Structure 1
Amino acid sequence: MKEIGMRICIAGAGAIGCTLAARLAASGQSVNVLARGETLNSLQRDGVYLNDLEGEHRAAVNASDSAEALGPQDLIFVCTKEPALAAIMRQIQPMLHEDTVVIPVVNGVPWWYFQGVDGRFADHRIQAVDPDGELSRLIPARHLIGAVVFITAVRKAPGVVESTNPHLMILGEIDHQLSERLERIRSLVENAGIEARASDNIRDQIWTKITANLTSNPLSVVTEATLEQIYSDDHLSPLVRQIFDEVIQVAAAHGARIRFDPQTFMELGAGMGAVKTSMLQDHEQGSPLELAAIGHAVLELAELVGLQMPTTRHVLALTDFMANKRRSEKAA
């Protein structure tokens, strides 16, 4: 993979995709963006705009709705929600060459979770996120680098994003090797003003993010609460703690190490402030929710090791009800 003149594409121009595009382009990288609709028109006309803790960033990008027009890429950040993942993976096929690195910036349990490492469930396919194996066929494991992104960003308008918290991206090979290409990409991201870490066990980091997502996102849909409320309100925090304990049990059963104590976790969550989760934002907009990867895949992993997760299961059932209700109202 070439470091000079690297061809970089952001596939998906939502809040996270635009944050990455703005930071990378502002750092001097030539950035392609695969987008559509009003977002595509805005990016082509005005570029991408980000307002974050370091100020305002506006940068020109090469935006298109055609993977063929953008051509082969060396590095592709796939920034989409889980319900749209298969469609965008099909769309990026013309951009892949032998050495293309694909980094799915997606919440929840990744479809490749049991690929690249040995173990009891080696190569097991996670039905909730890749029921027919399409994702595994579309993106062979050699192309993949895992990512866990701690960026809270809100899309204010097409191509316009605001973020009020620090940016952090943790990257790791799915076979847990500290490779040369991993370090090159980590350096690229860090030079764009995003704190970037290379991990020798990306699955530990995935479980950290899953814990944050699963204790907050579904509950936010049911209660319409902000992160601050979810983690500090006397009515909600006991429920959050029960979900936390269940997730930690499943993570440990799959060999993951979570490096924080419950009290610190709750304090960090409350410290995020009056921020709506991305799932609540999607729910309010009537968009599909990331329940398969964030929730149902975790229940599937729990069942593999004989754990039940009753509180998590009940909250997910309520969230499914709310999502189905909103879909019915939207269709009426």
Structure 2
Amino acid sequence: MPGLKICVAGVGAMGGMLAGMLARTDVDLSLVARGETLRTLREQGLTVHDGQSARIVRCAANTRAPDTVQDVVILAAKSQQLPALAACVSHAVGPQTLVVPVVNGLPWWMTLPTGSPCGAARACLDPGGELARAFPPARVVGCVAYAFASLDAPAVVRSAKAPTLVLGRVQGGNADDPEVAALVQVLDAAGVVITPSPDIRCDVWAKLAVNLATNPLSVVCEETLGGLVAAPPTRQVVRDMLEEAVTIGRACGFGPLRSVDEQLGSIAVADGHRTSMLQDYQAGRALELDAIGYAVMRVGAVCGVPMPVTATILRLADFKAARPDRQGNR
């Protein structure tokens, strides 16, 4: 839709890739970033490598969203960064703004209402309730992203394949309602593959199960997705963690979920891809262990589902992340 005002808040691998694709359309695009990323965006622009060539994208970038109310705000940041990001963009969220969190792990909006099993995870995802207040559930479009993107340097993104976004209203609408349809039209024009979801919570849990079973383990082993499922010992660990996550999902009523064997097959296709958590670990950045791991364990405790393998791998990932000789801890 011409003239749609879209703010991409967070210009890491995923946010940078989406911003680079949206810049090819005629939307009014703005970016929210900070530090070295913001400096690079202002001085050199956003560099997007798409596998065949590199493009330089230049658009407005600042530490906060524009003062004008946006039609769409895309949150593309780590879960632990969202409260601070909310303070930078909430003023641009109006009664008709769509908020699209492109995040890993269990999103804060799945902890609402607090009486649901996922409500047990609110204490580690939105303890102060800032996100629930800043982004009303009726304006949130849930999103599950399937993408293979990496960050070569601040504001330098690499991706050889178009991402797929699964989209569905969190509350008060359908994936094909007029507001979401306008967003889908723009994303489609940008080259993003869109899959509408009648129940976005099921789709979130399906990906969460894979993230849980691979991201922390990839840090412990410092191995790619393909490597994790190719070796029998780690393949069994992935299988065990998938079974724990799928059992919790079914207890919560999220289904139908794919079988563990189907999920293992989809992981193998990723081959040499490094998980986002492994990329963060190797770059010395904080890990999303709360949203991807410990939040799920809180839900499992409420559902009465033991998670011994998951608990062990999370502790080991935590240990590695805290090592004093790790880059970022020195």
Q: Is 1:88 aligned to 2:91, yes or no?
A: no
Matches within 5 A, 1:6-155: 6-52=4-50, 56-67=54-65, 69-115=66-112, 121=117, 126-155=122-151
Gaps of 5+ in 1: none
Q: Percent identity of the aligned residues?
A: 32
Q: Cα–Cα, structure 1 residues 85 and 120, in superposed 2: closer, same or farther, change >3 Å? A: closer
Number of aligned positions between the proteins: 328
Gaps of 5+ in 2: none
Contact 2:118 2:299 in 1 (8 A): no
Give distance in 2, aligned partners of 1:125 and 1:250. Answer: 13
Q: Cα–Cα, structure 1 residues 310 and 23, in superposed 2: closer, same or farther, change >3 Å? A: same
| TM-score, reference length from structure 2 | 0.92
Deviation at 1:209, TM superposition (A): 1.2
Following superposition, which runs of at least 4 residues in structure 1 exceed 3 angstroms of deviation? 53-58, 118-125, 326-332
Match of 2:230 in 1: 232
Deviation at 1:61, TM superposition (A): 1.5
Deviation at 1:115, TM superposition (A): 3.0
Matches within 5 A, 1:121-200: 121=117, 126-175=122-171, 177-178=173-174, 179-200=177-198
RMSD between aligned residues: 2.2
Q: Cα–Cα, structure 1 residues 213 and 256, in superposed 2: closer, same or farther, change >3 Å? A: same
Contact 1:26 1:58 in 2 (8 A): no
Matches within 5 A, 1:255-266: 255-266=253-264
Match of 2:305 in 1: 307
Q: Cα–Cα, structure 1 residues 253 and 53, in superposed 2: closer, same or farther, change >3 Å? A: farther
Give distance in 2, aligned partners of 1:150 and 1:54. Answer: 20
Deviation at 1:177, TM superposition (A): 3.2
Q: Cα–Cα, structure 1 residues 331 and 289, in superposed 2: closer, same or farther, change >3 Å? A: closer
Q: Which amino acid aligns with 1:183?
A: A
Give distance in 1, aligned partners of 2:264 and 2:308. Answer: 21
Match of 2:270 in 1: 272
Give distance in 1, aligned partners of 2:29 and 2:255. Answer: 35
Contact 1:128 1:300 in 2 (8 A): no
Give distance in 2, aligned partners of 1:327 and 1:187. Answer: 48
Give distance in 1, aligned partners of 2:226 and 2:67. Answer: 41
Q: Which amino acid aligns with 1:156?
A: D
Give distance in 1, aligned partners of 2:326 and 2:234. Answer: 28
Q: Cα–Cα, structure 1 residues 298 and 327, in superposed 2: closer, same or farther, change >3 Å? A: farther
Deviation at 1:187, TM superposition (A): 2.1
Match of 1:246 in 2: 244
